[in-house]
Amino acid sequence: MSKKEIETISKYTKEQILNSKKFSSYNKDVIMAILKDDCTYSIEEAENLINAFLERVV
């Protein structure tokens, strides 16, 4: 990935992700627990974090 491609990746706050249609199928409580209030995430980062949490062995 080039430097220009890295700079153009959109980042979103936890609140934006919670309110997005893309993440409407995910449990909102999981998103609230996993994502931090003071961070921003790309769509891929958020999906990876959420899926890693959901797939963990209990």
pLDDT in tens, 25-37: 999 999 999 999 9
Percent of all residues in the chain with a pLDDT value above 90, rounded to a whole number = 78
Contact between 31 and 23 (Cβ < 8 Å)? yes
pLDDT the model gives residue 58: 81
Beta-carbon neighbour count of residue 34 at 10 Å?
17
